[in-house]
Structure formats: structure tokens, C-alpha cells
Chains A and B, each alone.
Chain A
């Protein structure tokens, strides 16, 4: 389907929207806020809805799991939308539905995780890179040796990608991973498991946490146990942590970006593309949102005062 077929669902709105700059109808489908980072995604999606209110009529829906997301997309599809921006809960599970949406000529923007079929625009986060650069930083700072703890999130592809990439780096170095703990990307959970782990390991030099929320829980547990606070590297650029990186806090020498704001960028990019007359079904446009290391020097770049994450 190279050229967009004329809109089949709602002949009234689409042509006018394209010609006279009238409102686009856009659906945004994201996972529900089940931990800090996804809460950030939800926040940034809602921000986009407000920011673009004059250009587009945006419906934001959140899915509690992959199947729920498919159902919501099915429902959105009956609404005569111009475009759908989605952050896949489960990538493979979403693929069949995305194929169906494509057949309907809806402009599709995938964020963070790729689905197994080309879409119109793909803003990719790179979880493997996330794991790699953060682990490399730790190895370097430890001088290639030392004992660390690794904190995993909720079992899913994102978690597997991050942790596997980090572990590969650690394995190749002299850094010893004492244990992989399960913090479910949640402060409370990380705090709890750390309390127990602290009894087991007398020496811990650094922490690799797959998410900043967990890092904060870990910090709290160390503080409470009166243990020497190791430095740590979390991820996703939570605002509280970025602030501390900037302030040269010894506990947080650096952080890894994985901005939930990517959803906001994607919605903006989507509206731009529609305004520029881009049609569904042309070639996929790829943008990778690189994971960067946040250091005191560049921390300003990653500060968004109002973001909840």
C-alpha cells in the first residue's frame, strides 16, 4: 500500500484537515503508569495533548497489558483517526494489530520499541545501548574490578535487553556481579530487597540499577543500615537524580538518559509530518533517541522542571 487510499472511514474530516490545517485526530496508546518511568510517559503524553490542542484532537489511552493495548487500538481504529502514536507494551503481540491499522491507512508512529513490521515513523529508544553505556561507565570508574549489585525491573523485553547488555559488559571485565536483585522498577521493592541483600554482602562497591526509582530505594536502605554508601548508576534520567548529578553528589556521579519525554517528541513529530503532508504507507522514517550519559557537565540539557519523572 504505497499511496494512502482515500479515507474510508470518515470522508468528511480528513481531506479538510490536510488542506486547511484543521484539526487532526490522533490516538496515543501507551502502557499505564505502573512505575515511575511509565508515569513519566503518561505525563508527557498528556502534555502533548495540551500543547497541541489547537492542531489536533488527541485521545490518550493507557493499557494495563499487551492485550489490553490491542483492544484499545481496535477501538481507536473505529474512530476514524488520522494517526496513532504508540509505545508498545509487548512488541510481538502488537504486530498483528499494527498490520491491520496499516491496511486502514492510518499514519503510524512507533515509539521506543519496534514492532515486527515497518511503520511510518519510528522513534527508537535503545535499551541495549542503555545497558551497555551504563555498564561501561561503571567498569571504567571501578578500574575494572570490584563488586556490584544489579537491579532488574519487571520481567519484559525492555528489562531483558538492558540487563543482558549490561551483564555482557560486566562479564568481559573484572567486575563481579554479586547478585541480580529484583526491584521491579519500584522504590519500595528495591528498598526491601536491598535490606536483605545487605546482610549477605559485606562489601559492595557500586550499584547498577536499571532505573532511577530503584536507585533511590537502594540508597535509602544503605542509609538506614548505616552502611558505606556505594555510588550508583541508575537510568532514565529521573529529575531528582539529574539534579543530584548536577550537584556533584558522590552517590550519583552519573545517570543514563531514557527520557519518557520521547512520547511527547513523537506526538509533535507526528503532527509535523501530517502538516507537511506526509502520507501513511510511504517509507519508514527512523529516528533513534540515543541513550546518553548524564554527567555534571551536561546535566542541564536533561532538566525538565515539571516532569514527574
Chain B
């Protein structure tokens, strides 16, 4: 008897058929992976299964009886809990209060803070998060928030726990802890549904993996039959030959950016690195290493001390506008809050940073349209029309919009912060090729990433930060996961 099942469900949004007659069943005590390209319908399917949205057609069944949920309360009562792809927490409440929200423990009339805090502490320990329950949520990094989200989901003690790309914002250490946690949940009989674009993780923990493509069910493979090549082929519908582009060194000797002794109060103490023209430089580090802050300081988003020189001249930008005028652009890791205008259209988002190129008084809408179409095609943004709101896009496609916004400004130096977070393998590979191609044409890249294979596969060189300091640099043959891991975590070889 399946614990949770979707039978022939379809879901349509205005202009989009997101799901087309999908059937899927989850058994007790299994870890079930779900994969598919961006926009394949994974999140939509999970929203139907967790009562957030209702199917246009088909049925949802819990232990073989059909359910018609009207809201999250009912699905939670039935034992189905979902961690959404986008964070849904309250910034102005503490971690403990967020975890307790909706089911606060009481002492008389009042909220029982002590018990809420203890529960939070216990759950945070379970997800291996070193976070105080009294921290304001908005003071946490995205990774921290994601861990809180997971802790909150655990607190429901659900029978089915759906996790929609929980690892996208986590670094190695937290990811490993999370995969462990899944195993423990499974041994307690919980069903875990796990969505991810990192196939390696899926293969490691899943008992079965279901593949979706274009809103349709493709296949469900048992553990033994899953390997990266097969899965990728099922997802994309073709063979993925060379995942990373070949590293043809395209850089020149000229140093474009030279950062020396960069200090961002409270975040970095001594960041040093150089970037040459046409080079792709990676920056590795654990969450909290200060990579994002260093990048933000460079483009004028944060106050900093130390020296930065760009194209041979010392610079000190006080706003991204100045940085952009000099040719430096920064793609934020937090696409939801900082990278995108969710309530505006795809097209508007893509051209926002580059409006000057479309006229100073009047917008050249034809030219704008051409550029928008170019990017939608170039990096395969799956969208029915560029006029729809970005918030209706799937997570990975939103990431692509954020990327296009900056590519459209044609910067000389582009700083990418977690550029492929939530992007499917097929498109990821295409983004790598695009970056390589642009580098060959003379564009310079700084790539901040928590995925080591990505840094290794894409970058010419990787700078490692630890606790706000540059602790090393790896090039060529030296760029291996072991060496990088050691530098990142500060354990001596």
C-alpha cells in the first residue's frame, strides 16, 4: 500500500501545462528521488502532493484513499510535510519561533518560550546546524535558513517528508549531514522524497529515482540501475558527452583585478587575489567564509578597507552603478531577494541592469525585445512568454533569468555567486560552455561556488577562503577535491 500517491494528475496554469497525467507512488520507509530538467514539473507535482495546490485533473491518495485537501493544515494532519524550493520563513521572528510557528507550545496563555527553544535546539542538533535558537532569522545566511527550514519540517514528525532541492544552498558539510539525516529518517519508517539536480547525491541515498520530462512521467529506476549517465540521458533525452568544456587557456598576462588585504567589517579580514584578463577564477570556501561579502565589497555594495585595483588603477566603488560603468557586474547568490524582481516580467528583469543601452529617454522596445529573445534562447529559459512574472518560473529558470540580466550588460568582469544553484545538469553544462566561450572572447570571470566539481571543471584557477582570509590557491593538476577540501576546512594534509 503506497503511503502517498498521485494518480494521473495534471496541472495547468494560464498558458502552461505544468504536469500532464503523472502517476507516482511513494512507499513507507523509502528515499525516493525525483529528477528532471528545470521546469519539468517537479515542484508543481510536490505542491499537489502536499496540498499547497490542487490538481486540475487526477487524484491524490493517502494510503489508498483519495484526499481533497484545502490548505496545508489538512495535509500536515495527514502526515505530509514539504520543504519548499524557495525559503518560506519569517525574517522578523527568531529561529525557535519560526520552528514553532503554527503549533506553538503554550504555558497558560503565553507561548512557552523555554520549550520552544528546547525543541528548536534538539532539531537543530539533528540537522547538525550550529545555530542559536534565539537568532533572528533574517540574520542567518541562506544556508542557515535552509537548515532551519529542515528542522522545522522535522518537527512535524511527518510520515512523508518532501524536500525540494534542499541541498542547493548547502555546502559539502551540511549536505553530508542532511543525507545522513535522510538515512536515519528512513530507518524510522519515514518516507523521504528528495529533489536535487546533483545526481551524485541522489544516487548515493535514493532507493528509487523517478524522472520527469516536460511535465510527463518518464521512468522510475531502482537503486541498482541508477548511474549518472543513464539518469542524465533520461532527463535531457540525449547523451551528455562532455559535461565541462575543455580548458583552453584564453587568459592574457594583464591583471584586470587585484584585491589586496580586503577587509569587510564583521566578515573578511584579509582577502587577496588577482584575476587576469580572460581568466576564469574560482573562489572556494565554506559557508560563512566571506566569499559573498568580499564580492559585494568589490562592486560597492558594502563598505570595506584594503586596496582594490582594476585595470591597473586603484578603485573604490560606492555603488553597483559605478562598478557597472567601469565594467564589473555581480550576480547575487540570493536570487529571490536580491537577484530578481519576482513580481515583474522575465523581460523586464533581463534588461533592468542595462536599460541605458535601450535609450536614455525612450525605450527602444524592439531592440529590447530582441535581446530578451536572444537570452531566452541562448540559455534556454523555459517560459511561455517573456511577459510572465518571474515568480511563475521554476526555480532553475529563475536562476537563468538572473544570469541573463548581467550577461546583457556585457561586462568586462563578471562575478558569479553560485551561478548554477538549482540549474539542471543539461543547462549547467551549457552555462559552462557559455562562460568558457565568453572568456575566450575576452570576458573575465570570478566564480564563487560551493560545488567543488564545478570549480574544478570550469575554472582556470581557484582561490580558497577560510574565515575571511585567503588561505591558498590551486591551479591545473592541483585542483582536486581532496586538496581543495583540505584548504577549505583548514585541515592539514
Would A and B touch once assembled, by the CB under 8 A criterion? no
Binding site for B on A (CB under 8 A): none
Binding site for A on B (CB under 8 A): none
